[in-house]
Amino acid sequence: MKKYNNNDFSIKDIDKEVTLYGWASKKRNLGGIIFIDLRDRSGIIQLVINPDNPNYDLALQIKNEYVLEITGVIKKREHSNPNLKTGEVEVLVSSLTILNKSEELPFEISDDITALEDTRLKYRYLDLRRNQLKNNLIMRHKIVTEIRNYLNNLDFLEIETPILCKSTPEGARDYLVPSRINKGSFYALPQSPQLFKQLLMVSGMEKYYQIARCFRDEDLRADRQPEFTQIDIEMSFVTEEDIFKLVEGMFKQLFKNIKNIDLPNVFPRIKYVDAINMYGSDKPDTRFEMLINDLTSIFKNTNFTPFQKEEVNCIVVKNKADFYSRKKIDELLEFIKIYDADNLFWLKYSDQISSSFYKNLSVEEQNSLIKNLSLEENDLVLIVSGKRKIVKTALGALRLKIAKEIDIIDKDKYNFLWVTDFPMFEYSEKENRYIACHHPFTMPNDVNMLDDKENCYARAYDIVLNGYELASGSIRIHDPKIQQIVFEKLGISKEEQEAKFGFLLEAFKYGVPPHAGIAPGLERLTMLMCNTDNIRDVVAFPKTASAYDLLTKAPSTVSENQLKDLGIEVIK
Ligand code: ASP
């Protein structure tokens, strides 16, 4: 095994004889002397081969990415390189072996890569040689290690649950695996270990965790992959407060030990309703203000038709009116149309107010608007009116877009936030019925509210970091009678209950403890800790946005015989 890492050496190692291994990452020939940057996982050290060296001719053959074994003596460098950790030393090579050659690479292994992402994904193993991706994988490893240490110290058990299983209830489409032995039957890959972790509570495991692989067949976004990893946690005999404390402690330790950042002992909390009202999102980015103001009451008797709507809301962009030309504001309108908003009214505040709507208001409305928003010179007011959901979502998205445009987000901040009291139900336009907002095993805040689907809230919580949903969780229903009622309210028939969750309902007959859990997403956490907004940057072998693996070319067709074995026919 390798005894040394390249990065181990400094001025205190002068005259030490070492044997090193790695890849030739750069070769220069200066006045007959050959310099090679030898790279291993730890970093780079410079090798020197003089013309009188017996290995000189061999060294001349070395090209980028050749794999080398060298022995030599550490020497002080004449001109040190402040960009390298080993920049003050070099190795005077005495023996050299080329362990393997490399063909010319499809792209250069460099920090400022220009190759297309598709090429990099096809040759992922080469891309992983680059510092950025390598460091991301190291970060991911550190995170998992810290989490394991933290939870193990608190007496949690790490328990694996099946990958080939029955459909689980996270609401996405399942990946299915046909069974050869039971033709016509399918396993589903777990969307999460939800039902198994609840069963482990029935078994009396009390404190469970798993670094769990999850699979969801849904449309991909920048922060989603078809397979991903959750830090899946479940505990018995706990309340929300226990879960909050556990998770706060976990992130606190993680950030301290890995990034030397002190997080607060207790994270701020906001109710779902307030998050929507103030930030237009259930995952608010609280690194900047620019909250949504509700102006509906000011305009409740207005004659201005566009404001005679369910809600009239606005955001105020402080001291940036001059930055937003009419053309730029038109672009903002185009942007919020994505969120189904159809209007954007603006006002630039100064001695001379300029506005797309101000003169249409009554003097009373004008005065209350200005007073209500405490406007100052050069403030820009952006108003959207319409249905509540559209208004909030559009302004929430606008708030984020503008914050990025005017660069007011402090990138060094890590703002954790609990979002609590989620709705129990949400209306699915696709299915034309109410579905569970979290999952059907979530405890309602008040069982008596279950008939009022729009106003029934759940003991469900999310943890949000800088505008990303990092984890969801909930207090589970442990009373079979309540579970029955919730299933009924969700329109899940007895037959469906039996077919989908019969085993869980059966288990719940035999003494189920009160329990609750949460599942932080490992990729999103790693992304945020690595300062990237591309999930593929923190996955060793990721899929493209169309769920394709460019490296192995999966998914792919299979042979007729394989299909026959499975009793499957593909419709062309
Ligand atoms: N299984 C849930 C999810 O994946 C998390 C939980 O409720 O623990 O969102």
The DSSP secondary structure of 531-551, one letter per residue, reads: T-S-GGGGSSS---TTS-BTT
CA angle 535, 538, 541 (to 5 degrees): 95
Rounded Cα–Cα distance for residues 287 and 289 (Å): 7
- Residue 236 Cα, ligand 1 centroid: separation in angstroms? 15
Helix (H, G, I), strand (E, B) or coil at 368: helix
Among 208, 472, 478, which is best to mutate for testing ligand 1, by the most ligand atoms less than 8 A from CB?
472
Rounded Cα–Cα distance for residues 48 and 28 (Å): 10
CA-based nearest residue to 460, from 514, 393, 389, 517 = 517
pLDDT at 561: 95
pLDDT at 221: 78
Atom of ligand 1 nearest to the CA of 197: 8
Q: Is the pLDDT of residue 215 over 80?
A: yes
Per-residue pLDDT, averaged over 93-119, amounts to 95
Kindly provide the b/e burial profile for residues 129-147, where b requires at least 16 CB atoms within 10 angstroms of the residue's own CB.
bbeebeebbebbebbbebb
Residue that the structure tokens 């695996």 belong to: 177
**Cα–Cα distance list, 440 to 92, 248, 435, 459, 482 (Å):** 67, 26, 8, 12, 11
- Residue 277 Cα, ligand 1 centroid: separation in angstroms? 25
CA-based nearest residue to 159, from 59, 98, 233 = 233
Nearest CA to ligand 1 atom 8: 518
- Residue 192 Cα, ligand 1 centroid: separation in angstroms? 7
The size of the chain, in residues, is 572
Strands (E) located in 182-267: 186-188, 207-215, 227-236
Nearest CA to ligand 1 atom 4: 192
Range in 74-88, 211-225, 341-355 with the lowest mean pLDDT: 211-225
> Can you give the pTM of this predicted structure?
0.94
Does the domain at 6-100 match CATH 1.20.1290.10? Answer given as: no
Range in 38-42, 169-173, 247-251, 482-486 with the lowest mean pLDDT: 169-173
Cβ-contact 370, 376 below 8 angstroms:
no
CA-based nearest residue to 294, from 372, 189, 237, 220 = 372
Rounded Cα–Cα distance for residues 51 and 100 (Å): 23
Say if 133-269+416-538 and 288-405 have the same CATH topology.
no
Q: Which residues pair with 352 in a beta bridge?
A: none
Atom of ligand 1 nearest to the CA of 474: 7
- Residue 170 Cα, ligand 1 centroid: separation in angstroms? 7
Cβ-contact 235, 515 below 8 angstroms:
yes
Rounded Cα–Cα distance for residues 499 and 171 (Å): 16
Q: Is the pLDDT of residue 430 over 90?
A: no
Domain ranges for the chain, please list them.
6-100, 133-269+416-538, 288-405
pLDDT at 316: 98
Cβ-contact 54, 85 below 8 angstroms:
no
Cβ-contact 347, 381 below 8 angstroms:
yes
In this structure, what are the phi and psi dihedrals at residue 188, rounded to the nearest 5 degrees? -115, 145
Nearest CA to ligand 1 atom 9: 472
How many CB atoms are closer than 10 A to CB 568?
14
DSSP 398-445: HHHHHHHHTT---TT---EEEEE--BSEEEETTTTEEEESS-TTBPBS
Domain 133-269+416-538: CATH class, spelled out = alpha beta
- Residue 455 Cα, ligand 1 centroid: separation in angstroms? 22
Percent helix / strand / coil, the chain, rounded to 5: 30, 25, 45
Per-residue pLDDT, averaged over 245-273, amounts to 98
Per-residue pLDDT, averaged over 265-280, amounts to 98
Atom of ligand 1 nearest to the CA of 230: 4
Among 165, 168, 170, which is best to mutate for testing ligand 1, by the most ligand atoms less than 8 A from CB?
170
Per-residue pLDDT, averaged over 203-213, amounts to 98
Cβ-contact 252, 402 below 8 angstroms:
no
Atom of ligand 1 nearest to the CA of 441: 7
Q: Is the pLDDT of residue 169 over 80?
A: no
- Residue 519 Cα, ligand 1 centroid: separation in angstroms? 5
Q: Is the pLDDT of residue 28 over 80?
A: yes
Atom of ligand 1 nearest to the CA of 193: 1
Atom of ligand 1 nearest to the CA of 214: 4
Per-residue pLDDT, averaged over 146-165, amounts to 98
Sign, CA torsion 90/93/96/101: positive
- Residue 471 Cα, ligand 1 centroid: separation in angstroms? 8
- Average pLDDT of the chain to the nearest whole number: 96
Instruction: State the pLDDT confidence band at 528, using cuts at 50, 70 and 90.
Output: very high
* Residues with C-beta less than 6 Å from any ligand 1 atom: 170, 192, 194, 472-474, 517-519
Range in 67-76, 222-231, 418-427, 549-558 with the lowest mean pLDDT: 222-231
Atom of ligand 1 nearest to the CA of 442: 7
Nearest CA to ligand 1 atom 7: 473
Nearest CA to ligand 1 atom 6: 473
Which one is the CATH code of 288-405: 3.20.20.220, 3.30.420.40, 3.30.1360.30, 3.30.1120.80?
3.30.1360.30
> 393-422, pLDDT tens digit by residue?
999 999 999 999 999 999 999 999 999 999
